[in-house]
Amino acid sequence: MTTKTIEKNSLIGRRIPKMDAPDKASGKTRYIGDLNVSGQLYGKILRSGRIHARIVRIDTSKAKALPGVHAVITAADVPDQRPIGVNKDHMPLKGDKVRSQRDEIAAVAADSEEIAEEALKLIEVEYEDLPTIFDPRDALKPGAPLINDFKKDNVAMVFDYSHGDVAQGEAESDVVIEDSFELHYVTHCCMGVSGVIAEFDASGNLLLYSNTQVPFLHKREFAELLNIDPGRIRIIQPPIGGGFGSKLDIYPFEPIAIFLARATKRPVKLMFTREEEFLASPTRQPVILTLRSGVRKDGSLTFRTVDTLHDNGAYTSWGATTPFVMMQTFSSLYRVEHCLYKTTAVYTNNPYAGSFRGYGNLQATFAIEQHMDKLAEAIGMDPLEFRLKNAQEAGEVTGQGMHFKTCGFKDCITTAAERSDYQAKRRAYKAAQGAPGSVKRGVGIASMLHVGGGAKIYPSDGCGTILKLDDFAHVTVMTGASEIGQGSETVLAQLVCEELGVPLGSVTVVNNDTDITPWDVGVHASRTTFIAGNSAIGAARKARDKILNAAAKVSNLAAGDLDLRDGFIVRASDGQVIMPLAKMLRSLHFSDKAELVMTTHYYEPPSVHQDKGFKGDVSAAYAWATQVVEVEVDTDTGIVTLLKVWAAHDVGRVLNRLGIEGQIEGGIVMGQGYAITETLMIENGVCKNPNFRDYKLVTAPEIPEMDITFIETMDGEGPQGAKGVGEAPAICMAAAVANAIENATGTRIYKLPFTPENVYRALHPALAEAAE
Amino acid sequence: MSAIQRYLAPTTLEEALDALRESEATILAGGTDVMPQSQAGRLRLQPTLLNIRRIDELGGIALDGASIRIGALATISELLESELINERLPILAEAADHFASPQIRNAGTVGGNVCNASPAGDTLVPLIVLNAEVELASKRDGKVERRRMPLESFFAGPGRTHRAADELLTAIYVPAPAEGFVAHFAKFGTRPALDISAVSVGIGGVWRNGTFKNARVAFGAVAPTPVRGRATEGVLEGSALDAAAIGMAAAAARDEVRPISDVRASAWYRKEMIHSLTKKVLTNVADA
Asked if B276's CB is within 8 angstroms of A637's CB, the reply is yes
CA angle B231, B234, B240 (to 5 degrees): 130
Question: Is the CB of A699 less than 8 angstroms away from the CB of B194?
Answer: yes
Chain-chain contact of B276 with A681 (C-beta, under 8 angstroms): no
What angle (nearest 5°) sits at the alpha carbon of residue A501, between those of residues A496 and A506? Answer: 70
* Chain B hits for A756, Cβ within 8 Å: 190, 269
CA angle A25, A725, A640 (to 5 degrees): 80
Whether A140 is covered by a domain: the verdict is yes
**Is residue A305 located within the same domain as residue A435?**
no
Q: Are residues A151 and A294 in the same domain?
A: yes
Q: Nearest CA to CA, how far is B252 from chain A (Å)? A: 16
Same domain assignment for residues A183 and A145: yes
What top-level class would CATH report for the domain B181-287? alpha beta
- Cβ distance A637 to B194 less than 8 Å, yes or no, reads no
Q: Looking at the complex, does the CB of residue A689 fall below 8 Å from at least one CB of chain B?
A: yes
Tell whether A448 and A363 lie within a shared domain.
Answer: no
What is the distance between the alpha carbons of residues A115 and B277, in angstroms, rounded to a whole number?
A: 49
Q: What is the pLDDT of residue A17?
A: 97
Q: Domain ends where: A603, A628, A648? A: A603
End residue of a domain, out of A335, A361, A390 = A390
Structurally, chain A folds into a number of domains equal to 4
- Cα–Cα nearest to B48, from B26, B28, B21, B33: B26
Same domain, A666 and A523: no
Contacts of B251 in chain A (CB under 8 A): none
A6: in domain: no
Compute the average pLDDT of residues A364-379: 98
Give residue-wise pLDDT tens across range B109-141: 999 999 999 999 999 999 999 999 999 999 999
Out of B196, B272, B280, whose CB is closest to A693?
B196
Strands B133-140 and B168-175: antiparallel
Residues A405/A621, Cβ–Cβ less than 8 Å: yes
Distances (CA, A) of A721 to A447, A507, A650, B143: 22, 22, 11, 83
Which residues of B make CB contacts under 8 Å with A? 1, 188, 190-196, 263-266, 268-269, 272-273, 276, 279-280
Q: Which long-range CB contacts under 8 A does B207-210 form with residues at least 24 apart? A: B207/B180, B207/B181, B207/B182, B207/B241, B207/B285, B207/B286, B207/B288, B208/B179, B208/B180, B210/B240, B210/B241
Q: What's the rounded mean pLDDT across residues A348-356?
A: 97
Measured distance CA(A524)–CA(A535) in Å, rounded:
16
What band does B2 get if pLDDT is binned at 50, 70 and 90?
A: low
Asked if B193's CB is within 8 angstroms of A699's CB, the reply is: yes
pLDDT of residue B77: 98
Q: Give A491-503 pLDDT, tens digit per residue.
A: 999 999 999 999 9
Tell me the mean pLDDT in the region A193-218. Answer: 97
- The model's pLDDT over A635-656, given as tens digits with 9 standing for 90+, comes to 999 999 999 999 999 999 999 9
Question: Which SS3 state, helix, strand or coil, does residue A321 take?
Answer: helix
Question: pLDDT class for B41, splitting at 50, 70, 90?
Answer: confident
Say yes or no to pLDDT of A484 above 50: yes
Give the pLDDT of residue A118: 97
- Same domain assignment for residues A184 and A324: yes
pLDDT > 80? residue A772: no
* Mean pLDDT value across residues A200-229: 96
In angstroms, what separates the C-alpha of A699 from chain B's closest C-alpha?
8
Question: Span B34-52, mean pLDDT?
Answer: 92
DSSP state of A530: I
Q: Which residues of A touch B264 (CB under 8 A)?
A: 694
CB-based contact, A755 to chain B, within 8 Å: yes
CATH fold for domain B6-51: 3.30.43
The count of CB pairs under 8 A between chains A and B is 42
The arithmetic mean of pLDDT across residues B96-118, rounded, is 95
CA distances to A165, A303, A304, B109, B202 from A168, rounded to whole Å, are 5, 9, 11, 71, 63
Q: Residue range A311-316: average pLDDT?
A: 97
**Active-site residue, A727 included:** yes
Q: Which of A178, A727, A769, A772 is catalytic?
A: A727
CB neighbour class for A386 (10 Å; exposed up to 12, middle 13-18, buried from 19): buried
Q: What is the mean pLDDT of residues A41-48?
A: 98
Q: Which residue has the higher pLDDT, B192 or A32?
A: A32
What domain range includes position A82? 41-130+193-240+247-280
pLDDT in tens, A688-725: 999 999 999 999 999 999 999 999 999 999 999 999 99
Q: A728 pLDDT exceeds 60?
A: yes
Q: Which residues from A are below 8 Å from B191, CB to CB?
A: 677, 696, 699, 701-702
pLDDT (mean) for B63-69 = 97
β-pair type (A705-711, A639-650): parallel
Chosen CATH of B59-175 out of 3.50.50.60, 1.10.3720.10, 2.60.40.10, 3.30.465.10: 3.30.465.10
Residues A160 and A296 in one domain: yes
0.90 cut: is pTM over it?
Answer: yes
Q: Do A693 and B192 count as a contact with CB atoms less than 8 A apart? A: no
Question: Residue A376: pLDDT above 80?
Answer: yes
Give CATH 3.30.390.50 domain extents, chain B: 181-287
Write the pLDDT tens digit of every residue in A576-592: 999 999 999 999 999 88
Listed in order, the ranges of chain B carrying CATH 3.30.43 are 6-51
What whole-number percentage of chain A has pLDDT above 70? Answer: 100
Nearest CA in chain A to B199: A637
Give the per-residue pLDDT at A5.
Answer: 94
**Given a cut of 90, is residue A362 above it in pLDDT?**
yes
How near does any CA of chain A get to the CA of B234, in Å? Answer: 24
Nearest chain A CA: its distance from B207 CA (Å): 25
Predicted local distance difference test score (pLDDT) of residue A593 = 83
Q: What is the CATH number of the domain that holds A681?
A: 3.30.365.10
Q: What is the mean pLDDT of residues A324-345?
A: 98
Domain with residue A94: its CATH number is 3.90.1170.50
Of B192, B263, B273, the CB nearest to A702: B192
Confidence of residue B1 (pLDDT cuts 50, 70, 90): very low
Per residue in A449-482, pLDDT (tens digit) is: 999 999 999 999 999 999 999 999 999 999 999 9
The predicted structure's pLDDT at residue A1: 47
Of B190, B192, B194, the CB nearest to A756: B190
Residue A253 lies in a domain: yes
Tell whether A598 is covered by a domain: yes
The Cα B70–Cα B170 span in angstroms is: 9
Q: Which of A603, A632, A659 is the last residue of a domain?
A: A603
| Nearby residues of A365 by Cβ (< 8 Å), 6 or more positions away | A329, A333, A446, A447, A448, A731, A732, A734, A735
Average pLDDT, rounded, for chain A: 97
pLDDT tens for residues A404-451? 999 999 999 999 999 999 999 999 999 999 999 999 999 999 999 999
Phi, psi of A82 (to 5 degrees): -120, 155
Lowest mean pLDDT segment, chosen from A537-546, A763-772, B13-22: A763-772
Nearest to A455 by CA among A491, A407, A402: A402
The pLDDT of residue A2 is: 58
Give how far B280 is from chain A: nearest CA, Å. 10
pLDDT tens sequence across A588-638: 999 888 999 999 999 999 999 999 999 999 999 999 999 999 999 999 999
Tell me which chain B residues have a C-beta less than 8 angstroms from the C-beta of A682: none
Same domain, A252 and A377: no
Taking contacts as CB-CB distances below 8 angstroms, the residues of chain B near A696 are 190-191, 195
Q: Name the burial class of residue B5, with classes exposed (0-12), middle (13-18) and buried (19+) by CB atoms within 10 angstroms of its CB.
A: exposed
Residue A124 and residue A56 in contact, taking contact as beta carbons nearer than 8 Å: no
pLDDT, tens digit (0-9, with 9 covering 90-100), for B180-226:
999 999 999 877 767 888 899 999 999 999 999 999 999 999 999 99
d(CA A167, CA A161): 15
Residues A220 and A274 placed together within one structural domain of the fold: yes
Is residue A18 in a domain?
Answer: no
